[in-house]
Amino acid sequence: MKDSAINKEGLSRIDGRLKVTGAARYSAEYTPAGMVYGVLVGSTITKGSIRSIDTKAAEKAPGVLAVISHFNCPKIPGYQIASTEAGKPEPKGTYKLFYNNKILFNGQPIAVVVADTFERALFAATLVKAQYTSQAYQTSLKNNTASAFAAGENGESKRGTVAAWKTAPVKLEQEYVIPSEVHNPMELHSIIAHWDAEDKLTVWDKTQGVKDTQDGIANIFKIPKENIQVNSKFVGGAFGSALQVWPHEVAAIIAARVVKRPVKLMLGRADMFTSVGYRPHTWQKIGIGATEDGKLVGISHEAIGQTSTYEDFNEEPVSVSRSTYACPNVNTNYKLTALDIGSPTWMRGPGEATGAFALESALDELSYALNIDPIELRLKNYAETDPESGKPFSSKYLNEAYKMGADHIGWTDRSPKPASVTKDGWLIGYGMGGGMFGAYRDQATCRAVMIADGTLLLQTAVSDIGPGTGTAMVSIAAEIMDIPAGKIRFEMGDSSLPYAPSQGGSSITATVGSAVNDACKELKEKFSQLAGNTETPDYTKILKDHNLSKLEVTTASKGGDNMNKYAMYSWSVHFVKVCVHPTTGVVKVDKVVCVADSGHIVSPKTARSQIVGGAIGGIGMALMEEVIIDHRYGKLVNNNFADYHIPVNADIPQIEALFINKPDPYINPMGAKGMGEIALIGMAGAVANAVYNATGKRIRQLPITPDKLIGINQSAMVNGS
């Protein structure tokens, strides 16, 4: 490579300077002429119906342009009558805002107030008073598991003999519970909606996928999707909450139509807890059994997660038990309970993160029951081919990852006896936990344009929610085109660009990277043909010689047969060292090592950052994050950062992110697999396992807050001395 060749550490973020200087503009930071502000009014009851809404005071308040509710909302042509069986939730994402007088959850938007300033809209929203008829409601998963119904098709499965674990010489059965967790990215969800004409709309919207948002809006408002321009140039973090069109987006679009001006609607932090989904509270039970020498005999994995009464959200909490370890007998069952709470949604490692907490905890419990080292136990049951499909893995170096992680955390310092190591008055423990997630490759198209001045322009409609997609794409292009990264401009976050899928499911480097790869190769080939040779072309000279201002290709890319021939997964293993205070029960994470087996690492710096971010999310899940609902009122009570805790710098030690960095030969030309989800999946189990090793106390209900460990003082003395 030439002068500014990308060194081994990889490119720094191409948009890093824009982001840290404030020059990057997020969706709420545009000001189209005449823009006004929308603020939502939420239901103060949990279930029932609206009798009336008094909007008079709000309408008379200074600067107010409109108050819209189901009483005066224009007809929304895309709203369909329920197609689902009576009494069952409808498919995810089909909630109809301002449709009727039904109240389905506390905080449900019942009106939107539009005013000329944000402050005036906010004030007027407080003047809107609704009268309700309340009904009895259910917000507790625990009290309602009896009404659970089957979740989708993938929930129920049988391999070999059902409940075979019960016949094993060493066995255990335990329940594991995670609370609901909220996404809480730094950037709040926001939209600016502007009708350019009767059937033509522009939005600046926080979204993980401009094309999916375009489709979603087109379906609701029944206008041609080509008439909808979606802009999402920068996204300040997202973990799944921006994968669908939510009610606040619909509200802003309706409001803009009514007042005939652009409307900005940004959720407040409290709204983020009730309006854009969450990881659902889930109960799980695992039965697991092994032979005396540690060969798994059977796993039984049940889960019941919560959904709303109006939408059917299901994920894959039990799938990890089918494919993580070689085990002849596995049966799974996954159900949903419909509660009077807003719908959950995908959140980083949706399903797998929940399931892996249970499975990796159970494996750890089994390791103590067998008196076998937890890594040893996993190696004894190492799956060489996918136990579920029988297909060969496209690549799997998880065994190397175990070794690398163990070396770096100092696993030999771990005592197999719980609560047996203390240092400076703290109990010390080590734990590990693994993660897996499907390595997906979707289809995408990239336009690559070489301009006369030697600038390479790459265009595709992906959005970058934080992992550094632009940086990874430029890295791929620089290598193929053999030009400095500084000469490459990557354009995205605009629905008028060539197709790319939503940034989700850890699939974008594999998907859009392939399109960038293929487009660059095709463009280079075109130059070679023009120049009549196949050597590395001098692009600017060739353009000049042929009197061209530019040369471009538009290339579509998708996976071939290999996608079906092989089972494709990314793998991770997390190692954690914790210190637990025996009197207060405070857990300090002292050291973290994460190893990812995610194929070739295209962009080492941003990959490291992605693993670190996921690990922090996993530590939050393990130790802090928990939605608390006061079931007397059906209301979420900790909808703020004072009461809902997430890790801050002081909670996080140095995190070592390591990569196997061996290309997957089958998934795509770069050999790259995803890592967004595996960065988090397995981490909560690793922390819980470390806490057990430190204290002898097994916490099976997240988060592991100090109150759950108080009293270890005594038990530590009994066990450890």
Q: Name the residues annotated as catalytic.
A: 677
User: How far apart are CB 505 and ligand MOS at their closest, in Å?
Assistant: 4
* String of contacts with ligand MOS for each residue 445-484, x by CB under 6 A: ----------------------------------------
Which are the contacts of 564, defined by CB distance < 8 A and separation ≥ 6? none
Nearer to ligand MOS, 350 or 582 (CB): 350
Nearer to ligand MOS, 240 or 599 (CB): 240
For ligand MOS, which residue of 277, 438, 470, 505 counts as binding (CB under 6 A)?
505
Question: How far is the C-alpha of 701 from the C-alpha of 283, rounded, in Å?
Answer: 9
Q: Strand 263-266 and strand 36-42: pairing? A: parallel
Q: Strand 444-451 and strand 190-197: pairing? A: unpaired
Nearer to ligand MOS, 348 or 441 (CB): 348
The three-state secondary structure class of 441 is coil
For ligand MOS, which residue of 38, 109, 155, 240 counts as binding (CB under 6 A)?
240
User: How far apart are CB 5 and ligand MOS at their closest, in Å?
Assistant: 33
Residues numbered 183-222 forming contacts with ligand MOS, rule: CB under 6 A: 208
The C-alpha angle 471, 475, 479, rounded to 5 degrees, equals 170
Question: How far is the C-alpha of 659 from the C-alpha of 656, rounded, in Å?
Answer: 10
Quick one: tokens of 543?
A: 């353009």
User: How far apart are CB 596 and ligand MOS at their closest, in Å?
Assistant: 16
Contact status: 182 vs ligand MOS (CB under 6 A): no
User: How far apart are CB 36 and ligand MOS at their closest, in Å?
Assistant: 31
Task: Find the largest Cα–Cα distance for the chain.
Answer: 85
Question: How far is the C-alpha of 326 from the C-alpha of 55, rounded, in Å?
Answer: 62
Region of residue 51 (phi > 0: left; psi between -120 and 50: alpha; otherwise: beta): alpha
The count of residues interacting with ligand MOS (CB under 6 A) is 10
The pair phi, psi for residue 426, each rounded to 5°, is -110, 145
Helix (H) or strand (E) holding 370: helix 352-370
Nearer to ligand MOS, 537 or 674 (CB): 674
Residue with tokens 């990239």: 446
The answer to whether 350 and 621 have CB atoms below 8 angstroms apart is no
Q: What share of the chain is helix, strand, coil (3-state, %, to 5)?
A: 30, 25, 45
* String of contacts with ligand MOS for each residue 325-354, x by CB under 6 A: ---------------------xxx-x----
Residue with tokens 């400095």: 484
Half-sphere exposure in the Cβ direction for 111 (13 Å, CA): 27
User: How far apart are CB 216 and ligand MOS at their closest, in Å?
Assistant: 15
User: What residue is closest to ligand MOS based on CB?
Assistant: 240
Helix (H) or strand (E) holding 619: helix 604-623
Nearer to ligand MOS, 41 or 678 (CB): 678
Quick one: tokens of 681?
A: 């999946």
User: How far apart are CB 647 and ligand MOS at their closest, in Å?
Assistant: 19
User: How far apart are CB 398 and ligand MOS at their closest, in Å?
Assistant: 22
For ligand MOS, which residue of 239, 283, 310, 539 counts as binding (CB under 6 A)?
239
Nearer to ligand MOS, 185 or 294 (CB): 185
Residues that bind ligand MOS (CB under 6 A): 208, 239-240, 243, 346-348, 350, 504-505
